[in-house]
Structure 1
Amino acid sequence: MEAPGAAAAPSPGAAKRKVMVVAEPGRESAGALQWALTHAVLEQDEIILLYVDLPNPSRRGPFSAFLRRPPPGAAVDPPGGGGGGGLEFLDEMKGMCLKAQPRVAVQVLRVEMEDNDKVSTIVSQTKALAIDLLVIGQSRRPSFLGGRLGGGTSSKNMSMDMVEYLIENSRCLCVGVQKKGQNAGYLLNTKTHKNFWLLA
């Protein structure tokens, strides 16, 4: 049985795909990226590491220009790394990509959360960038994205885990990845595959 989102061997003239990995500090996100690099990404693909930042409260005041924060949708790709601001993990994740898949184009994208809703922000980015595959780390806790759904969602969805919501409602294929120990493989979830065990 083929693993959800697994990459086939590249063929001549194969279409380029955009693979988005939700970037967060922590092992869940790192495990999701590791799975994507070893099981889903082909050398002609493009990897987009998406980090959703909190809304900028300083926009209400006159001093916002002094903050070193890129505007929403701005790519963060420092030539020598060193993102700073507690976001060094983005440089580390980009380094993982370049080491594992040196021929794959990698973009780090830092966007501001829209309407205090992280899920909607991720969904809107997948649509705007025409993403083919969305990969997101999944933990045993309710959600590593910061809790359960809220703001602008129906009561039916309020109790749904954020990762599960993305899996069920993303237009592109969304894979939830839970890394099971160092060499124990991955537990994968998609709309059609639930708790699919994949050896490392």
Structure 2
Amino acid sequence: MQGGTPAARKVMVVAEPNRESAVALQYALSHAVFEQDELILLHVGNPNSWRNTFSTFLRKPSISSSSHTTCADGSSNGGEVDFLEEMKHACKITQPTLHVRVERVEMEGKDKAGVILFQSMALGVDLIVIGQRRSFSTAILGSRRPGGSMRGLDTAEYLIENSKCTCVGVQKKGQNAGFLLNSKTHKNFWLLA
């Protein structure tokens, strides 16, 4: 830290075309990243899933207002919006000076959480933010299974327990209700928006 400016960090948001991922990005942009940081949007999955309609991102209108979209290279995608590019665009609107990088990784038969952990280490990530959907039974019983077993954990819970860097699972309850955060050291921490 020189001259009062915090050191740049790498913050990774696990990006999916769903509400939980949009909430994780919203939390990261509003509470976790600073202008000198690098934000990495990581999507792990089947390459065929990389193009999706993602028009409800952060409850803001899509960058495409018609059913036919023209890409930056001038090509047309027949109405589909690449959700990762939509997320990157939303980042630039929210924090114009933030450096945003998109990473797409194929699963190739491996488990998703393992691929995310490997990528976080390979990229030197300081913080992982992942959207978390918790069932009622998980919320009551907790994420640990009897005997300390990690078997049956969802991706977010696995990353929280096994990542070398800090990992935060994020949920949003209601429009203006704030965020419910989970990390290795804090469970069900409520952060008002």
Q: Tell me if TM exceeds 0.5.
A: yes
Structure 1: 5+ residue runs without aligned partners? Answer: 1-9, 57-77, 143-154
Contact preservation (8 Å) 1:55, 1:112? yes
Query: 1:114, 1:120 within 8 Å by CA — same for their partners in 2?
Result: no
Deviations 1:70-112 (A, max 9, x none): xxxxxxxx85698959662111111111011111100111111
Q: Are 2:131 and 1:137 equivalent residues in the alignment?
A: yes
Partner residue of 2:21?
29
Distance 1:53 1:161, change over 3 A: closer
Number of the residue aligned with 2:96: 102
**Aligned equivalent of 2:8:** 16
Amino acid at match of 2:28: A
Question: 1:180, 1:35 → 2: CA distance?
Answer: 13
- Pairing 1:197–2:185 present: no
- Which residue does 1:162 correspond to in 2? 155
* Secondary structure, counterpart of 1:122 in structure 2: helix
Aligned residues: 158
SS of structure 1 residue aligned to 2:87 = helix
Deviation at 1:13, TM superposition (A): 4.0
Question: How large is the Cα RMSD of the aligned pairs?
Answer: 2.7
**1:25-174 equivalences in 2 (<5 Å):** 25-54=17-46, 79=72, 88-141=82-135, 156-174=149-167
Q: 1:158 to 1:30 in 2, by over 3 A?
A: same
**Within 2, Cα distance between the matches of 1:87 and 1:198?**
32
Shift of 1:55: 7.4
Stretches of structure 2 that go unaligned for 5 or more consecutive residues are 49-70, 137-147
Q: Aligned-pair distance for 1:113?
A: 0.9
Which amino acid is the alignment partner of residue 31 of structure 2?
Answer: H
Q: 3-state DSSP class of the match of 1:28?
A: helix
- Provide the C-alpha distance between the structure 2 equivalents of 1:122 and 1:162, rounded to a whole number of angstroms: 9
When the two structures are superposed, what TM-score results if normalisation uses the length of structure 1? 0.71
